[in-house]
Chains A and B, each alone.
Chain A
Amino acid sequence: MFSIYKKELQSFFYTPFAYVITALFMFLFTIMFNNALGNLEQPVLQFTFPDIFYNVIFFFIFLIPILTMRTFADERKFGTEVLLMTSPVGVIQIILGKYLANLTVFLFMIAGSSFFPIFTYLNGTLVMSQLICAYIGFFAWGAMFIALGMLISSFTENSIIAAIIGEIIMFVFLFIDDFSRTDFIMQYPKLQSFLYAFAAQPRFAYFSQGFIRLSDLVFFLSAILICLSWNYIAIERRRWKRG
């Protein structure tokens, strides 16, 4: 598992990939940070990082599929899947190795974004508890979308298609709570509560307010587990159905 993890990291960090995606992420963060500063009207400059995170997430869903699109699609495209599957490494280990590598790049991106709170801290005051909770929530959300992106990547040989489908699905998931609150859906309370159960946004809202609720953590964790297990099933299923 470690060798797969290491190889994936090499493929991210020996190429410009990880740096470019982190730079892009920081650029998005800068825009939001700038907006937050520009919107200040009170004499005392006050803004919250959770709000910035909240805005960043909207753009963030375009970055995650780009991070994950190659995970399995490229293995199939280059025929290297055979190598992985015929070496004495289990499929679960392959998936976990790749997942951890993607998470590491994600952490690297998050580390890049910490520039802004540090900058704020040096020039003002920072509400630490809220910031940390927001970071935890942000990480959980990203971890879930990475698992989802990897799952989608295992469905196709073409990484671009994986990225596009990933973006669409993540977009749907991002706005599913808004959708569930539309008048049309409100007519069917059962459907509404069903849809609402998939919504990650309100759960992130708790984090950003400084709450760490067990139910939210369980939500993200179970979503990750479902995606990774499905990933395992998808890979095995394709082996059986091939041809």
Chain B
Amino acid sequence: MITIDKLTKYYGSNRAVNNISFTINDNEILGFLGPNGAGKSTTMNMIAGYLPMTAGTVTIFGSDISKDPVAAKKNIGYLPEIPPVYPEMRVKEYLSFCAGLKRIRSSERKSEIIRVMKLLKIEDVQDKLIKNLSKGYKQRVGFAQALLGNPKFLILDEPTVGLDPNQVIEVRNIIKDLKKEHSVIFSSHILSEVSAVCDRVVIINKGDIKAVDTIENLEKKLGGSLTLHVKIKGDRIKASNVIEFIDGVDEIVSIDAEGNDFFSFAVKLKEDAGDDTKNAIMSELIGHGIQISEIYTEKPDLEAVFVDMINRSSDKHGLLELLEETPPEAEDGADSESDESEEKEGEE
């Protein structure tokens, strides 16, 4: 088990990682999710023992990374964001050097190198100079390096960046297979990837942990409620008044204007709401003379969870705030939408 406890990193007076704690269990793939610049790579560098931490501890299978680095690092395979390859070396030479660095017994080195090359399908480039390889191949060579010696704990920093869709699927499958014998922490800013591969997710933003949970739980936590999308033609304020007072509607999450008189509403429904609410909204809207061009309900997905989590502090809730953001047409229709009105005048 890997324990990360109260890990903090300051760059000068800038706080990059703030007091984060989580654990990675044996045979688990933990997704590490966050937007760019959230502190993912910094955290991973600290876990791998490359960057010293300002405060906190990282314990890898019982050895503290800062107190007993050599013992801790023996259990780590690390693929940094930029694959750490020497452009002047051949793939096989490079892997053999890495095997030496990781103190793999010389009798086992050859078979070990062949094993990882097979796993990542880089046997056909083994005699090429790394500088002549494509980004995807370099990435896979870097990955192969991390797998050498079969370390129990793998740290993969965006391992699928730069790969083509086929390779992405291959690499994901490799990561899934790794679960049998390894603990994996795997960072990404791509949501679908994390939900495809990981058991649990840590969501981080601006150095703070926003959530640590399984994907299903996160989806549930968001309310487990459906979101109803409805696209209407007609008066926006009238429509929103209608929608808001229907049973089963929790709140209107967003209203987007889409061209002439078309508005898309995203409506959060209450947990027990279902098709009845949808039907009620449809009939009420039509009853008020508002045309509906599109209506469908959507389950909350990881993306919604993610966006919600990272924006939590600056989130806008409720219709009032939304209306404040976009002033009613009655007041400024003449000014801000002057382009439109000019066109209309021209037509007339």
Decide whether A and B are members of one complex.
yes
A15 to B51, CA, bound (A): 32
**CA–CA, A7 and B103, complex, Å:** 14
CB-defined interface of A133-173 with B at 8 Å, one 1/0 digit per residue? 00000000000000000000000000000000000000000
Which residues of A are found within 8 Å of B74, using beta-carbon distances? Answer: 88
Given contacts A10-B89, A243-B16, contact A86 B97 (CB under 8 A): no
A88 and B50 form a contact (CB under 8 A): no
Closest 8 CB pairs of A and B: A3-B100, A243-B11, A83-B84, A87-B101, A79-B82, A88-B73, A80-B84, A86-B48
Also in contact, A78 and B89, with CB within 8 A (given A3-B101, A83-B101, A243-B14): no
Let me know if A2 is at the binding interface, CB within 8 A. Answer: yes
A3 to B96, CA, bound (A): 9
Chain B neighbourhood of A2, CB < 8 A:
100
Nearest chain-A residue to B65 (Cβ)? A86
Contact with B along A81-92 (1 / 0, CB 8 A): 111111111100
Contact B100 A84 (CB under 8 A): no
**Would B12 and A82 count as touching, CB distance under 8 A?**
no
| B145 contacts across to A, CB distance below 8 A | 83
**Distance (Å) between the CB of B299 and the closest chain A CB?**
40
From B52, B78, B80, B86, contact of A240 by CB (8 A): B52
Q: Interface size of A by Cβ–Cβ distance < 8 Å?
A: 25
Cross-chain contact B103 with A86 (CB below 8 angstroms) = no
Bound complex: CA A196 to CA B318 (Å)? 79
Contact indicator per residue, chain B 215-235, by CB within 8 Å of chain A (1) or not (0): 000000000000000000000
State A89–B98 Cα separation when bound (angstroms).
Answer: 11
Residue from A7, A78, A83 in contact with B87 in the complex, judged by beta carbons closer than 8 Å = A78
- Please tell me if the beta carbons of B86 and A82 are within 8 angstroms of each other in the complex: no
What CA separation (Å) do A90 and B100 show in the bound complex?
Answer: 14
Shortest A162–chain B CB gap in Å is 17
Residues of chain B within 8 A of A239, CB atoms compared: 50-52
| Complexed CA–CA distance, A15 and B90 (Å) | 12
- Expressed in whole angstroms, the Cα–Cα distance for A82 and B83 within the complex equals 9
In this assembly, does A213 line the interface, its C-beta being within 8 Å of a C-beta of chain B? no
CA distance A79 to B138 in the complex (A): 13
Give chain A residues whose Cβ lies under 8 Å from the Cβ of B50. 82, 85-86, 239
CA distance A86 to B81 in the complex (A): 14
Residue pairs across A and B with Cβ atoms less than 8 A apart, 26 shown, are A4-B101, A6-B100, A7-B89, A10-B93, A11-B88, A15-B88, A78-B84, A78-B85, A78-B86, A79-B80, A80-B86, A82-B48, A82-B80, A83-B84, A83-B145, A86-B48, A86-B50, A86-B73, A87-B73, A88-B70, A88-B73, A88-B101, A88-B102, A240-B52, A243-B11, A243-B12
A11-B86, A79-B84 known; A87 vs B102 contact (CB < 8 Å): yes
Nearest-neighbour CB distance to chain B for A8, whole angstroms, equals 10
Residues of A within 8 A of B51 (CB): 239, 242
CA distance A7 to B52 in the complex (A): 27
- Bound CA–CA A86/B11 (angstroms): 20
Q: Assess the B93–A82 pair: CB atoms within 8 A.
A: no
Query: How far, in angstroms, from A15 to B129 measured CA to CA in the complex?
Result: 12
Residues of B close to A15: CB separation below 8 A = 88
